[in-house]
Structures are given as structure tokens and as C-alpha cells.
Amino acid sequence: MKQYLNKLINQQNLSLAEMKEATNKCFTDSITEAEIASFLTALQAKGETAEEITGMVEVIRSRSSFQTGPVLHAMDNCGTGGDQSYSFNISTTSAFVIAGAGVKIAKHGNRSISSRTGSADVLEHLGVSLSFSKEQVEEMLEENNIAFLFAPHVHAALKPFTQVRKSLGVPTIFNAIGPLTNPVNLETQLIGVYRKELLPLLAEAMHQLGRRRGVVVNGAGNMDEASLAGENHVIVLENGKQQAISLYPEDVGLPTYTMDDIRGGDSKENAEILKGVLHGKKGAYYDTVLLNAGLALFTNGEARTIREGVEAARESIESGAALERLNQLVEYSSKIPSEVL
């Protein structure tokens, strides 16, 4: 580990192979928490590269028993978090709309870290299990187009990093790589980031990880979701090439709202917002989900344009398909023994 620390301290990038070896060492008994902390801090101070992100993600995914083959044709729409917007659970609500539109979505998520309510908090309140097995995840994706993967459950091997991150109390590479560590072998992916400078970096990492197509968005107000508050900065990845575009609400026929219009609350309040949207209750929450689900359907290729994706998202809600995906997931969860995590 010392040789890698020296390289990082001297502002030298690690190759993909070096990053994988360094990350693997962090899972051994020979490495102390102090060395792991130094490794994460040095990476952050130097600035991570796409190769370093890819190397760490590949190791983390390889250590998850939930890693799947490429046959599921699934996508994810998880964001990095960290935008401090305190919005409702946009990507979680959007996931059911995406599934209702016919796309398989392996929703990766966690409890609240930088927001009041994380995806796991709101889904747990709605009656969704946080302890699905790999086989159950695959079954739900096949039968219901949506499954939830609770990060601590599917990444049990990450415990060596958990206490170190808590002790450091500063951003590390983990603040950027969360969505990429989904153990399901994703075909396409939408990632929201709160830092605009991460857009090309995460797009390149998605390419290196084998995504057929991907989109990275930094929303207006630096949200880690697409926002109806103004300009969204977007990078579309296809066949390894990146295209940067700006996306405004009027481009897809949606109104403008302020950030305050989409604020959420605790898990109970956000669960009610989620159900309201899926029941077709119009307003800022509903339109924000149309934008994000529409962008995801465009990412997946289900829609040829973002505007077309927005209309497909609207149909998913108005037909009742999105709500049915939630109801089926809750019903499936009721048959699974609870596990406290």
C-alpha cells in the first residue's frame, strides 16, 4: 500500500490494475484503518480519475454475492446524493414509473445520508423489504420490472470502509461511486450528480464498466436529479462517445418550479408524496417525476427523445401501471421474513 500512497501524495494517478490491487488490499487484515483513511484522503486530495473509479468499483462489485450476469437487461437511476436540496425521493418515485413503462430497473439505494429521507427509508415505510436475496431480485426484475437493492445488504463486504468513512467525516471517492457499485450487471444507467465537474468522469467510468448507453445529469441548483428549476447539464454516453447538452423544462413541455416546490420531509411524508404521484396527483412533484422518468426512458432507449420519454412516463402513471409495480413489490415483500439492518 505504501507505494500507492506515495504515488497519490505526489499527484500521480494509479492505473486500473494498481487501483484494483490497492482496493483489494483494503479488504485484508494486513491493512489498518489508518492506512485506509490515508488512501481515501490521498485520492480525494489528488482528484480521482475514471480509471481509479472503475478499478475500485470493479473490486467492490466482485465482492458482492449479488453480482449478476448480463442477461437481465436492467438499468438503474440512482444518484450520488450530497446535493443538500432536501427534495422528496425523486429517483425512487421515478423508478416505479420507469418500470411501469416496461423497463427493468434494479434500484440501488441506501438510508438517508445527506438528505432527510433515503430511498431505503421511504420504501421501508411503504412495506418494501430491504433484505431480498439475489434470486428474489432476479425474480422481481423478471416478473415486476423492478427490484430494490439495499446497499448495506448487497455490499456486506464493505464494512472495512464504513467506520473509516464515518471517522473521516469528509467527502471521499465513495461520494461519487455509489451508483456505479450496483451489483446487477446493468445495460444502461442514469446517474445524477451534485457536482458538474463529475459529469465527464462518471460518464467515462460507465463506459469502462461496459454500459451500452448512459446519461449523467447535474440538475439546476446543483441537484443530483434532473430539475425543473432551470438549466440541467447532461452528458449522453453512447458507444463510448460523450455528447454534452443543456436541458430546460420548456424543451420537454414542462413548467418551471422552484427548489422549494419539491421539498420533501420525513419517510412518512415522502411516502405520501410518492403515492400521490403514482395516483396521478398533479403538481411540482408529478412533473419532476415525469422529467426524471422521461430522461431515464431516453437513457434506456425505450424512448427516442427525452420529450417522448416524458410522455411515456405520463402514460405509465395515468394507466395505473406505475402504481401496480409498487403494489406488487409490497405484496412480494410481505412474504419475506423481515431482517433488521
Binding residues for 5-phospho-alpha-D-ribose 1-diphosphate: 79, 82-83, 87, 89-92, 107-115, 119
Specify the 3-state DSSP secondary structure of 253: coil
Measure the CA–CA gap between 224 and 218, rounded to whole angstroms: 6
The contacts of residue 90 (CB under 8 Å, 6+ apart) are 225, 262, 288, 289, 292
Report how far residue 53's alpha carbon sits from residue 37's, in angstroms, rounded to the nearest whole number: 17
Q: Are 253 and 310 in contact (CB under 8 A)?
A: yes
Residues of the binding site: 79, 82-83, 87, 89-92, 107-115, 119, 165, 224-225
Binding-site annotation, residues for Mg(2+): 91, 224-225
* Distance (Å, whole) CA 262 – CA 257: 8
- Count of helix runs (H) and strand runs (E) in the chain: 15, 7
Residues 6 or more apart whose CB falls under 8 angstroms from that of 336 comprise 129, 131, 132, 136
Binding-site residues for anthranilate, in ranges, read 79, 110, 165
Burial of residue 63 (CB within 10 Å: 0-12, 13-18, 19+) is middle
Determine the Cα–Cα distance for residues 224 and 112; give it in Å rounded to an integer.
Answer: 14
